[in-house]
Structure 1
Amino acid sequence: MCKQLYTYLLLFIVLPYFTVNAQQTSVEITGKVLESTNNQPIEYATISVIDHTTKKPITGTVTNANGTFSIKVETHNFYIEVSFMGYTTKRFNKEKFVGRKINLGTILLSEDQHALDEIVVNAEKSQTEFKLDKRIFNVGTDLSNTGASALEVLNNVPSVNVNIEGEISLRGSSGVQILINGKPSVLSSAGSNALGTITADMIEQIEVITNPSAKYEASGTGGIINIIMKKSEKRGLNGSVSLNAGVPNSNSFGMSLNKRTEHFNIFSQMGFGRRTYPEDNKTINSDLTDNTTVSSVGKREMNEKFKNFILGTDYHINALNVLTLSGSYAYEIEDQNSKANYNETDITETITDSWLREETTEATNPKLSYELQYKKNFKRHKDQSLLFSAIGSSFKKDESSIFNNTTILGDEPDETQLSRTDYALEDYTFKLDYTHPFLEVFTLETGSQYAINKVTNDYAVDGLGDVFNFNQNVLGIYNTLAYEGEIWGIKLGLRLENTETNTLLKTSNVENSKSYTNLFPTIHTSYKFSENTSFQAGYSKRINRPSLRELNPFSNIRNNFSISTGNPDLQPEYTDSFEITTIHKFEKASLNFSFYNRYTEDVIERVNTFEDGVNTSKPENIGTNNTSGLEMNGKYNPIDWFSLNGDFNWNHFNRKGDFETTSFDFKGNRWSASLTSKFNLPARFDLEISGNYNSSFKTFQNEISDNLFADVGLRKKIFKGKTILNISVRDLFASRVDETTTTQPTYYLYNSRKRGRFITFGISYGFGKGEAMEFSGQRIR
């Protein structure tokens, strides 16, 4: 009896075990996931095995590059879901499963149009982001950027203004440092033309840093604009192509390719095209002593052919170490043609002399840049990193010009002038940055940078000229310490920079050398009053070293009666910059207020001198400038299909100084405003209309006129978003005219320039795993 009882008890214990074990025999599930439209494999589609009773995930996997997957399950009470972002989810119930091997076969996923629209709406809402010491603008949401240049894209960014000559200012200050991916580049240091290798479709974001921390180079009294380039890291092969054409002549082709494997990310971009820049100009030079006047009316046209290539690779040595090697090459061919009719009048306004001045200029501009970067992350903390980069770049310009004066009225003989420029720039930058978070809320940053700049400019007019050499070496060392809690944060920094410069006019044997060391403290703080209201404040000390254009003594003879030269004796500007910003978020709107003050010493300002009917403009260091201002920008989304973005900037400046016994003391105001409206229309049309106004303002000798202009953009997505059609009209009413007037006791000057309306149509197509570009690329000017 006891023996039987023991047997029954043993069976009672062991039998359930065998039953359960039999039920939990593993089941293998396989299949392949493809796109329904083109039968292309979907990599990284999610395969979820979900408990049928609790509805909770049991296990899961993702598809490989071929779209296939395999997964084992230790249960029988489940169902399967196959999903991928932007596609409809498919479900497979357990009733269809038989046996220990389940082959789901080919699973076709179709795009979820509603989900894609939701993604677009969300992207629009995050167009502007605020960080502790910068604002980030996501470029792709601006429709009017179709066919736009990088400078035109910058002109749509709040706080930034780009005049017709391509000069960039931030909150009215021209002392702006332009970075590419956080680093100096030949594309930004060789003048506005050098930005030509960047096309609009290459830009991911633009960071505006009005008060940079000590981590950044101290150059640029107005702040820093950092252009972030696109670099996809999607697994597999992806790419896109863009083609656009416009009036005036504005044709280009661009393509990007990216291949991502487990260890390598190979990225490339290429573009080529041609663009024409027309210009109407008018000048008046009046000598109020003898009442004679020389005036001109003319047209100028610059045609540019360009091509550019970018190639790079990221090698992921392992999960913590990445090595990047990249390079870019661009080549431009420029030809400029201009005609201007000149008239000279006497005291009775009778024309005494008249002539036609014609220009033919040809130039080639090769540009090369390359970078080696190594980044090491640490297991200890996800934000701990060591970054080393070495950058080299070169830019050359070989330019020759012929100017012909043909007499129409008067006794002056016909005249021909020849000029040539052989220009070469080399930049080398070495950086080392280390970031060390500790105690969860503190971050220590330290690093150094050594920058080498070498320039040679061989210039001659009618065989007479000189060679201007410029060398500058800057060594910088910095430390920052930041505390960032849930409500309050502060960041302190100190940067030391030593600068060595040397200029030499080789033929004239005129040399100028400088050496100076400066400390640049910075402080930034933020306080979060609530989820919807926060406060930021910052201070930084900055330096604006004279640019080559300001140092180069050679003059431009395009107009013999209006000459611009540089000054090798210029000293750097120093600025103390303060800023307070409040950020307010509402249910359907956001509003931001910034109060700022900039106090600048040794201000660089162009001074006009007038002699024998000829005006010469030359930069000089003159006194101080104190600027205080208010900036407001915000966004309002009253309904899902409509939004408004606005920006307003007003400042008051107080100039004090003397130059050659002349007082430069004066006060003035200037303001600018922009308003952009966006409409999400039926049939996947998007419309954008923007208006911009820049007020008139005064300098010591000049008055700059106001201008008002509008841009329009229209976008249409077809073929389920794989192809995008764009059309943009910049300066819709051809109302943007840059005018400068100089009124002095002994002379009067007037200059105006007008570019006119640009209409561009673009088409973009994304292939493989690529996405169509939100706008097409163009040559930058």
Structure 2
Amino acid sequence: MRHLLLLIILLFNLNYVSAQNQDIEIKGKVIESTNNLAIEYATISILNSESQEPITGTISSEDGSFSIRTDASNFYIEVSFIGFKTRSFKDFKIINNAVDLKTIILNEDNETLDEVVIQAEKSKLEFKLDKRVFNVGADISSTGASAFEVLNNVPSVNVNIEGEVSLRGNQGVQILINGKPSVLAAADGNALGTITADMIEKIEVITNPSAKYDAEGTSGIINIVLEKSEKKGLNGSATLNFGIPNSNSFGLSMNKRTEKFNLFSQLGFGLRTFPDEREYINRDFSNNITIRSSGEGEFNEKFSNILLGTDYHLNDWNIITLSASFAYEVEDRNSLANFNQSDAGNSITDSWLRDERTEATNPKLRYELQYKKDFKRHKDQTLLFSALGSSFKKDESSNFKNTTLFGDMEDFLQKTRTDYALEDYTFKLDYTHPFLEKYTLEAGSQYVINSVTNDFAVSDFVNGEWIDNPNLTNIFDFNQNVLGVYTTVAYEGTQWGVKLGVRLENTDLETLLENTNEKNTNNYSNFFPSGHLSYKINENFSIQAGFSKRIRRPRLRELNPFSNIRNNFSISTGNPNLQPEFTDSYEITSIHKIGKASLNFSLYNRYTTSVIERITYFENNRSITRPENVGTNLTTGLEMNGKYNPTNWLSINGDFNINYFNRDGEFEGTSFDFKGNRWSTRLTSKIKLPADFDLELSGDYRSKYQNVQSDIEDNIFADFGLRKKVFKGKLILNLSIRDVFASRIDQSTTTQPEFFIYNSRQRGRFTSIGISYGFGKGEAMQFSGRRR
């Protein structure tokens, strides 16, 4: 009996110990109070009841559910998520070794949301392995701006007064939208003008792209990433901008996220005015005739755009995206210029006015299907297919009137007509396969179809009727297909990283002048290798190096032999025989973190063959400029970027770039050998003022430099921005002034044995005020830029 009693007590104690050591399961589902939608990535913490130290934790899944186990016996539970009030559970029942918290409702915490957002705000510039990322949200001087003005704030990027984008002083740059070619980034027309700052999330600058990217762009790639929120529920932001001269726009961005769908949309419309002051001198040394002109004009643009799209989550591993956008522009240009013709004694022999009235409409359409597949095997293993189509049309008419003020020249009328149609199609397939923990293999292909027709006519009013000028009238067809395949392999260790790749592209180009039946064909294939290397010496110092081979294919306007007669004495035209230029690009970059400062130094070298340059020559007292392939160019440069935060209310960003170039070339018996240099610098300071005001000041200087025929004068200008947050960050007020002192003037001088040309152009000061409001879980667009 005694032994039986001892055995019963022993079995009871064993069962008790076993029960005490058995894990307890804690489960539930987290939702938000506004729309009762699930909260993904909510934090569930298990803490010791006495010490309040964390024991274990987990996060909620896509549907808000969670499950976690613990062998602790004295604990409590906390459920939290950024921007919501934390809930604690200390009195709960353990039934069958389980705690079921059922549905946990979190309420939004407006008091802490604003503080968290400020701390989470990204810095203006981030460095990745093979690119730099510029976060538009930190740019308060971009209020009411288009993508052109935003790009002008990106280190290493410059947009001149003509809207031409250059990277490190080189205009051979490929612009992508969300990583793909787009009609919105086309060089023809003011395409980027339909993208406003409030639509842009970030801009990626890739000076040495890997073989994964299209080889187009001898100086690199600029990728504009548009905003698309995936917060649960209905979220959105609205912006309203007013400016002098006109920079008036309204933008609305909304998205609705459910368990399976993410619906996103953007809407914008507005009016912009670009004033223009020009001065022109054309001196013909052979005939001792000088033409001088000065005038003013303005370019008005009414624009509207809409973007609609959806992400459909088939399951955890497959997503289909459908999107379409439509933009419509109405343009009108008015200008009046006074012309004077002088003889060898500088006496005016003729004087007249040239009046221009131009109207145009530009519809743009873009549509895309994308399929992305993730794999259970590895989180970074993906398969991505996309099909992208776009079209752009321009219907433009210009009327010119010459009115004689003095001399023997007769009044005359002239008009031009342009019917332009572009169709682009891009098909891409990309596969990423990680293996052996530290290695990644990429492979893919791309096929791009470009088809353009440009119907251009010039008519003169003779004897009471309009007569087409056969020398300036024609239909130009441009058809180009590019097939590319690539593969890359990368190793990324704790200290070392290396990525090697090769790309093969075949280009098939055909142009046709229909009226004269002049056809040009060009078919060529090229290999484009790339390599990137990184070495992390310590947490505060790392080195990156890169190499890539690039191509710049001639664009439509460079190939089309009929272009611009706005000034009858200064005509620009294209060259259908133009060949592509090729660049070998090398770069090494060091990244330093020193206390509150970060510094980056880049040494780069570019060797370009068949360089495309615009050559000017004289014919019948007129300067005619057309692009030609002129020799080679060797450029060696140093770029420095820095950021310093001496206090929590002041940050300073600096950018300095200098390069030396050696030109070697000959064209039609004329040597274009010369050496030169150019440099630029930008300094921006951001100051946090009391009462939630932010101030930003920036100054730019771009030095004088030389090209094959001309001297380009230096440029200095400043921008100003001021921001005020109200209603705990839900409403943002912005003020910006671009070119504060109206000092930005583009000037060039061309001096040749037979002629002299001087050009000057100025836009002037732009002032704008913006209001942004965020609703749902959206925040107001910072600086009329991206949501943080």
TM-score by length of 1: 0.92
Residue 450 (structure 2) pairs with residue 442 (structure 1):
no
Residue matched to 1:431: 428
CA distance in 1, matches of 2:371, 2:592: 39
Q: Residues 89-127 of structure 1: CA distance to partner in whole angstroms, max 9, x if unpaired?
A: 454654999xx99999987553344x7446424534x43
Residue matched to 1:123: 121
CA distance in 1, matches of 2:101, 2:426: 58
Residue matched to 2:543: 535
CA distance in 2, matches of 1:495, 1:26: 53
Q: Is the 8 A contact 2:558 2:573 kept in 1?
A: yes
CA distance in 2, matches of 1:130, 1:460: 49
Q: For 1:570, what is the secondary structure of its paired residue?
A: coil
Q: Is the 8 A contact 1:29 1:71 kept in 2?
A: no
Residue matched to 1:222: 219
Aligned pair partner of 1:505 in 495, 503, 513: 513
Residue matched to 1:654: 662
Q: For 1:567, what is the secondary structure of its paired residue?
A: coil
Matched AA of 2:764 = G
Aligned pair partner of 1:346 in 338, 343, 346: 343
Q: Residues 362-404 of structure 1: CA distance to partner in whole angstroms, max 9, x if unpaired?
A: 1000000111111111111111111111111100000001001
CA distance in 2, matches of 1:540, 1:614: 41
Residue 476 (structure 2) pairs with residue 478 (structure 1):
no
Q: Is the 8 A contact 2:84 2:107 kept in 1?
A: no
Residue matched to 1:379: 376
Q: Is the 8 A contact 2:145 2:247 kept in 1?
A: no
Q: Which runs of 5+ in 1 are unaligned?
A: none
Q: In 2 relative to 1, CA 11–757 (structure 1 residues): closer, same or farther, beyond 3 Å?
A: same
Q: Is the 8 A contact 1:46 1:63 kept in 2?
A: no
Residue matched to 1:242: 239
Residue 600 (structure 2) pairs with residue 600 (structure 1):
no
Matched AA of 2:301 = E
Q: In 2 relative to 1, CA 24–535 (structure 1 residues): closer, same or farther, beyond 3 Å?
A: closer
Residue matched to 1:767: 775
Shift in Å at residue 354 of structure 1? 1.2
Residue matched to 2:735: 727
Residue matched to 1:302: 299
Q: For 1:178, what is the secondary structure of its paired residue?
A: strand
Q: Is the 8 A contact 1:140 1:204 kept in 2?
A: yes
Q: In 2 relative to 1, CA 358–28 (structure 1 residues): closer, same or farther, beyond 3 Å?
A: closer
Q: In 2 relative to 1, CA 399–47 (structure 1 residues): closer, same or farther, beyond 3 Å?
A: same
Q: In 2 relative to 1, CA 644–17 (structure 1 residues): closer, same or farther, beyond 3 Å?
A: same
Q: For 2:301, what is the secondary structure of its paired residue?
A: strand
CA distance in 1, matches of 2:240, 2:621: 48
Q: In 2 relative to 1, CA 81–656 (structure 1 residues): closer, same or farther, beyond 3 Å?
A: same
Residue matched to 1:739: 747
Aligned pair partner of 1:702 in 710, 718, 728: 710
CA distance in 1, matches of 2:508, 2:23: 76
Q: Is the 8 A contact 1:24 1:76 kept in 2?
A: no
The within-5 A match list for 1:580-659 is 580-659=588-667
Which stretch shifts more, 634-643 or 190-199? 190-199
Shift in Å at residue 558 of structure 1? 0.7
Q: Is the 8 A contact 2:212 2:501 kept in 1?
A: yes
Q: For 1:399, what is the secondary structure of its paired residue?
A: strand
Q: In 2 relative to 1, CA 75–406 (structure 1 residues): closer, same or farther, beyond 3 Å?
A: same
Matched AA of 1:155 = N
The within-5 A match list for 1:259-274 is 259-274=256-271
CA distance in 2, matches of 1:643, 1:278: 34
Q: In 2 relative to 1, CA 33–449 (structure 1 residues): closer, same or farther, beyond 3 Å?
A: closer
CA distance in 1, matches of 2:391, 2:198: 24
Aligned pair partner of 1:674 in 651, 670, 682: 682
Q: Residues 556-590 of structure 1: CA distance to partner in whole angstroms, max 9, x if unpaired?
A: 11111111000000001011111111111111111
CA distance in 1, matches of 2:738, 2:320: 41
Q: For 1:535, what is the secondary structure of its paired residue?
A: strand
Q: Is the 8 A contact 2:202 2:224 kept in 1?
A: yes
CA distance in 2, matches of 1:377, 1:675: 43
Q: Residues 604-661 of structure 1: CA distance to partner in whole angstroms, max 9, x if unpaired?
A: 1111112333111011111111111111111111111111100100011111111111
CA distance in 2, matches of 1:733, 1:755: 12
Aligned pair partner of 2:580 in 551, 572, 581: 572
| Aligned residues with identical type, % of pairs | 63
The within-5 A match list for 1:302-381 is 302-381=299-378
Q: Is the 8 A contact 2:25 2:68 kept in 1?
A: no
Matched AA of 1:206 = I
Q: In 2 relative to 1, CA 457–150 (structure 1 residues): closer, same or farther, beyond 3 Å?
A: same
Q: In 2 relative to 1, CA 95–596 (structure 1 residues): closer, same or farther, beyond 3 Å?
A: closer
Residue matched to 2:412: 415
CA distance in 1, matches of 2:672, 2:23: 90
Matched AA of 1:156 = N
Shift in Å at residue 348 of structure 1? 2.4
Shift in Å at residue 71 of structure 1? 11
Q: In 2 relative to 1, CA 360–25 (structure 1 residues): closer, same or farther, beyond 3 Å?
A: closer
Q: In 2 relative to 1, CA 512–108 (structure 1 residues): closer, same or farther, beyond 3 Å?
A: closer
Shift in Å at residue 507 of structure 1? 0.6
Q: Residues 31-73 of structure 1: CA distance to partner in whole angstroms, max 9, x if unpaired?
A: 98648xxx998945656564424634577776999x9999999
Matched AA of 1:281 = R
Q: Is the 8 A contact 1:293 1:613 kept in 2?
A: no
CA distance in 1, matches of 2:28, 2:663: 77
Shift in Å at residue 312 of structure 1? 0.9
Q: Is the 8 A contact 1:61 1:71 kept in 2?
A: no
Cα RMSD for the two superposed structures: 3.0
Q: For 2:8, what is the secondary structure of its paired residue?
A: helix
Q: Residues 256-302 of structure 1: CA distance to partner in whole angstroms, max 9, x if unpaired?
A: 11111111111111101111111111111112233321111111111
CA distance in 1, matches of 2:101, 2:676: 79
Aligned pair partner of 1:162 in 150, 159, 162: 159
Which stretch shifts more, 192-201 or 233-242? 192-201
Residue matched to 1:10: 8
Q: Is the 8 A contact 1:534 1:583 kept in 2?
A: yes
Residue 296 (structure 2) pairs with residue 288 (structure 1):
no
The within-5 A match list for 1:184-203 is 184-191=181-188, 193-203=190-200
Q: For 1:187, what is the secondary structure of its paired residue?
A: helix
Q: Which runs of 5+ in 2 are unaligned?
A: 460-467
Shift in Å at residue 86 of structure 1? 3.5
Q: Is the 8 A contact 2:336 2:354 kept in 1?
A: yes
Matched AA of 1:308 = N
Q: For 1:140, what is the secondary structure of its paired residue?
A: helix
> After TM superposition, which residue ranges in structure 1, 4 or more long, deviate above 6 angstroms?
15-32, 39-42, 58-61, 67-76, 100-107
Shift in Å at residue 132 of structure 1? 2.1
Q: In 2 relative to 1, CA 683–289 (structure 1 residues): closer, same or farther, beyond 3 Å?
A: same
Q: Is the 8 A contact 1:219 1:545 kept in 2?
A: yes
Aligned pair partner of 2:527 in 494, 502, 519: 519
Shift in Å at residue 710 of structure 1? 0.6
Shift in Å at residue 82 of structure 1? 4.5
CA distance in 1, matches of 2:69, 2:496: 48
Q: For 2:216, what is the secondary structure of its paired residue?
A: coil
Residue matched to 1:111: 110
Q: In 2 relative to 1, CA 498–24 (structure 1 residues): closer, same or farther, beyond 3 Å?
A: closer
Shift in Å at residue 685 of structure 1? 1.1
Residue matched to 1:494: 502
Q: For 2:161, what is the secondary structure of its paired residue?
A: coil
Which stretch shifts more, 40-49 or 140-149? 40-49
